[in-house]
Structure 1
Amino acid sequence: MENGNRIGSLSITPTVARQTPRNDFGTVFARTAQEVVKAGAGIAASMMPGAPMVSAAVASVSSVVSSTASSVGGASALPGAGGAGGVGGTAGGGEPWDLLAAQREMQAEGMKMNLAYMNLQNEMQAESRAHNAISNIMKVRHDSAKAAINNIR
């Protein structure tokens, strides 16, 4: 009797050569980041009141990303990737150091954005606390006036 839950005989397929192109992570990541920055530029510029300033910031980040994408030509351009230069960099022109500098610039820009976001959050919280305080005061005044009117009747 055959059980319906059992797997039948297995067939093993021989290994074939790779059919998809081999893409390095750094190259794909840089290309994707560049596309995200380009797509986000249009959205951010249309939604923000300071469009020229946002456009300039996006352009600077886009230039950093595009320079990063162009400097990541192959695996040997990445530090520690086992290329001709090894961890110390390439023998040609110090491309890993350019990549590192671009990464540090992006981190500095990200830290500035985080600081601006934190300041905005603090301002919003202060405004919310002020609104709640005024709302509570107005409610107490209203309840007091209502009680006084009811006492007069």
Structure 2
Amino acid sequence: MKYFILAISLFVIENSQAQNKHFTVNEGRLTWKTTFKTAEQQVLTAIAKNNPRYFIRKNENAGKSNKVNCTCKGSSFYMEQYFDFNFKVTTQNGSYTVEVSDIVFESEGDNNTNNHLEDFVLKRGKNTSFINTPKNFANLDCFDAYFKKHFVISDAEEIMP
């Protein structure tokens, strides 16, 4: 029985890691990152065209979103709030990499404090590992789908890590 529980535990840990392949935690900060293959030369221009709520700083190959949201069936309450994030785009040899950071939800309360995504998805006190629940992984999957949808350009194809 001990071995069965150990095998199930390892399976759950392995699958939870696989579900978060685009999210990483470094020094308590959460980052989403992926790479797309494309022949497009003006990647930032194409991203801006598809996303009018993104403010692009072409000289920095970066930008910031403004009051966007994504909700998915079965996601948590906080997913209904508007959020902002920073992003950086690097291009190299027919591909571009998008890195999203500083995902911050707007507050609805009177205290007007913003909530970082880390506050919801990382274990308290550690800030180095994800809360291991199906709902948490569903929320991260929702973000993953949102970012892929909004950062892929017309002829781009994701390069699997």
TM-score > 0.5, shorter chain as reference: no
Q: Which one has the bigger helix percentage?
A: 1
Q: Which one has the bigger strand percentage?
A: 2
TM-score under structure 1 length normalisation: 0.29
Higher RCO (CA 8 Å, separation ≥ 6 residues): 2
TM-score under structure 2 length normalisation: 0.28
